[in-house]
């Protein structure tokens, strides 16, 4: 709710900025709120303890999400892992892991937000998923 209000104010200021001469709201003075702020919050509370704030993980124990070839290869799989966890052997950026990640018990909405955050943080350019993508991936 707060976020929506801040966005609305930002959009309002943005649309005023630059074209008038009031001098107090120009486009480059405004910091746009991150579209991934909600996902960042979910990440910091549910994922960062293992995958780290930087997304780099801990080699040998927790695989990285930053620039992870495994994460970026398959959005549907990313949704399923964020929702259900995973186990079994995997190779991420050439390093083998064979551990277990428990389900973090997130709502579908939080899964969507956190997946979009990790797909678009730390230099990742992984695109976005919608709530419909989440529902489809989890109904399989």
Q: Smaller CB distance to ligand HEC: residue 70 or 122?
A: 70
Helices (H) and strands (E) in the chain, counts: 7, 2
Which residue in 39, 79, 92, 121 binds ligand HEC (CB under 6 A)?
92
Q: Which of 125, 33, 2, 23 is nearest to 71 (CA)?
A: 125
Residue choice 1, 22, 23, 98 for contact with ligand HEC (CB under 6 A): 98
Stretch that binds ligand HEC, among 3-11, 23-31, 89-97, 126-134 (CB under 6 A): 89-97
Residue 64 interacts with ligand HEC (CB under 6 A)? yes
Q: Do 109 and 116 touch, CB atoms closer than 8 A? A: no
Report the candidate in 114, 97, 108, 101 with the shortest Cα–Cα distance to residue 133.
Answer: 108
- Nearest Cα to Cα of residue 93 among 62, 129, 127: 62
Q: Where do contacts with ligand HEC occur on this chain (CB under 6 A)?
A: 46-47, 49-51, 62-65, 68, 70-71, 78, 81-82, 86-88, 90, 92, 97-101, 104, 106, 114, 118
């Amino acid at each position: 709710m707060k976020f929506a209000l801040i966005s609305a104010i930002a959009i309002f200021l943005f649309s005023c900025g630059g074209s008038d001469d009031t001098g107090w709201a120009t486009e480059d003075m405004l910091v746009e709120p991150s579209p991934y702020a909600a996902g960042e919050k979910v990440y910091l509370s549910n994922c960062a303890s293992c995958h780290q704030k930087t997304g780099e993980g801990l080699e040998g124990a927790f695989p990285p999400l930053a620039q992870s070839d495994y994460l970026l290869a398959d959005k549907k799989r990313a949704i399923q892992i964020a929702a259900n966890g995973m186990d079994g052997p995997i190779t991420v950026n050439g390093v083998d892991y064979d551990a277990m990640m428990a389900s973090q018990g997130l709502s579908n909405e939080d899964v969507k937000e956190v997946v979009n955050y990790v797909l678009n943080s730390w230099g990742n350019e992984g695109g976005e998923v919608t709530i419909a993508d989440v529902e489809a991936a989890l109904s399989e």
